[in-house]
Amino acid sequence: MLVPLAIFTLRERQIAGAPGFPLDDSWIHLHFARNLAEGAGFSFNPGTPVAGSTAPLWTLLLAAGALAAGSSLAMAKALGVGVTAAAALVTRRAALAWGVRPEVALVAAIALLWTGALAWGALSGMEVSLAALLTAGALLAHARDHTLGTAACAALAVLARPEAFLLLVFLVVARPLTVRRVTMFVVVTIVFLAPAGLFSLATVGAPYPATAAAKVEGGLVGWLGGINEPATLTWVRRPLAFLREWIVWLASTHWLLPVALCPALVLVWLRTGRALGLVAMALLAHPLGMALLAPYRGPAFQEGRYSIHLLPLAMLTLAVAVGTRPPPEGRGRVRALVAAVWLAIAAITLLPAATRYGWAVQNINAMQVHLGRWVDAHLPKTAPIAVNDIGAIAYFSRREVIDLMGLVTPEIIPYRRQGEGGVIRYVTQVCPPYLIIFPAWFPQLASRTDTLQPMYRVRLERNEVAGAAEMVVYRLLRCAV
């Protein structure tokens, strides 16, 4: 594990000059966690509870870390590294439980650690490594035919990354559907997911968090939320686009991964039957499920943030395909060579992944973190701020924020669906004294020079992850915008 960590940390220091997170969303998690640890409840603005986390289990884990060691960048990264190491160890155990030879199981665990996506997850302050650990735990319990353990890990994985719900369904039907098995899965899932759903209903008015309500662009969840789109987009164009993106992301994770998985899926069916063969089919269903159920961005978005939890399943599938039988006489060296080539390619792919990570950290530090500290130093302590990137600005300034994207201000979501004009109407009604926005996102709003006065701006010379290259702080002169 030290190999990817060393490469990523070195590139982070070379490019960003200081440690940080590669996404502003990481600071959202940490801000929620700090409020929880300080007794303010599950709230972004203390005193206003809101279901604003799509991964509440990770937020709760960060809150426990904040309570024990204080809310900090180092604490979040340490938790991420620990959870990632656990994901690799449990993946190795799962491979052994499915009958894989020890040396192949070890290679599978190392290959998992040496994916750029999981290394990114370890240091990102995001929930993806926790989701990967719980997926690996579900696969281990499933190998041992522990129904309760399988259901518990799978349901918890959904609380870490909602896309894991599809895997839960495949785990249910992977063994004979007895009344006891189905009942156990249903009861465990309800017990674990109902509190989050009820909290969302109470604070957002929907059974899913505001983050989902604000981001979902169509599909079943979008339809339930009142979004209408052409049938060809829902059923044809978007699923095909997500499938293509999934294949490209697998190839970028490891050059041989999409090619190797095709025969591996067949071999796993032949060697384990429905028990693992059907579960492995989740690797094919994942992009289609994303497209049809709750599409926002594709499977490769933000280093595969919505897909990383399936990497333990991918590595387990490959391990079972090649490692459940002793190699034929004289073929042991060939298989050892194949393993060495696989790990060599994995090591090579770590380099561009680490470079992307370094630039992402640089972007967030130079823009959102910098602006959060600027706000803390220059704007009144009690003045609310309307922003479109809430994480680091709220974390470092501790100001009350009005989220123009709706992640923690669900009241704005109906206005957002009316386009920029709706957002302008909301700003007119709420009348925040300050706004911090990407002018490229709100060109009409930013052009109102008679009512908005620019105070400070940050521009990235090389933008890799920020929503736009420039972010501006405005003073609202009057509400007639």
Same domain, yes or no: 367 and 314: no
3-state secondary structure of 43: strand
Give yes or no for a contact between 5 and 352, defined as CB atoms under 8 angstroms apart.
Answer: no
Which pLDDT score, from 0 to 100, does residue 401 have? Answer: 96
Which pLDDT score, from 0 to 100, does residue 328 have? Answer: 67
Q: Does residue 160 lie within any of the structural domains?
A: yes
> Alpha-carbon distance 130 to 127, whole Å?
6
> Alpha-carbon distance 27 to 33, whole Å?
10
Same domain, yes or no: 336 and 462: no
> Alpha-carbon distance 189 to 166, whole Å?
13
Buried b (16+ CB within 10 A) or exposed e, 423-460: bbebbeebebebbbbbbebbeebbebeebbeeebebeb
Which amino acid makes up residue 341?
V
Which pLDDT score, from 0 to 100, does residue 332 have? Answer: 67
Same domain, yes or no: 387 and 332: no
147-153: which pairs have CB atoms within 8 A and are 24 or more residues apart? 147/180, 147/181, 147/184, 147/185, 148/184, 148/188, 151/184, 151/185, 151/188, 151/189, 152/188, 152/192
Longest dimension (CA), the chain: 82
> Alpha-carbon distance 473 to 457, whole Å?
6
Question: First and final CA of the chain: distance in angstroms?
Answer: 53
Please name the residue that has the structure tokens 């204080």: 70
Q: Does residue 234 lie within any of the structural domains?
A: yes
> Alpha-carbon distance 76 to 81, whole Å?
9
Which pLDDT score, from 0 to 100, does residue 319 have? Answer: 96
Domain that includes residue 430, residue range? 359-476
Of 353, 387, 410, the last residue of a domain is: 353
Task: Quote the tokens at residue 184.
Answer: 């156990």
Q: Does residue 262 lie within any of the structural domains?
A: yes
Same domain, yes or no: 118 and 232: yes
Stretch (H or E) spanning 277: helix 274-280
123, 17, 95, 161: which is closest to 314 by C-alpha?
95
Task: Quote the tokens at residue 448.
Answer: 């109102």
Same domain, yes or no: 327 and 375: no
Of 319, 353, 387, the last residue of a domain is: 353
Q: Does residue 286 lie within any of the structural domains?
A: yes
Q: Does residue 466 lie within any of the structural domains?
A: yes
> How many structural domains is the chain composed of?
2
Same domain, yes or no: 218 and 317: yes
Low-confidence ranges of the chain (pLDDT < 50): 481
Q: Does residue 481 lie within any of the structural domains?
A: no
Same domain, yes or no: 276 and 405: no
Q: What is the pLDDT of residues 417-467, one digit of tens each?
A: 888 999 999 999 999 999 999 999 999 999 988 889 999 999 999 999 999
Same domain, yes or no: 300 and 377: no
Same domain, yes or no: 314 and 379: no
Please tell me the pTM assigned to this model: 0.94
106, 93, 77, 199: which is closest to 141 by C-alpha?
93
Same domain, yes or no: 373 and 317: no
Of 353, 388, 418, the last residue of a domain is: 353
Same domain, yes or no: 317 and 366: no
| Length of the chain, in residues | 481
Same domain, yes or no: 315 and 169: yes
Residues 6 or more apart whose CB falls under 8 angstroms from that of 12 comprise: 19, 20, 123, 354, 357, 358, 361
Q: Does residue 249 lie within any of the structural domains?
A: yes
3-state secondary structure of 296: coil
Q: Does residue 248 lie within any of the structural domains?
A: yes
Which pLDDT score, from 0 to 100, does residue 480 have? Answer: 57
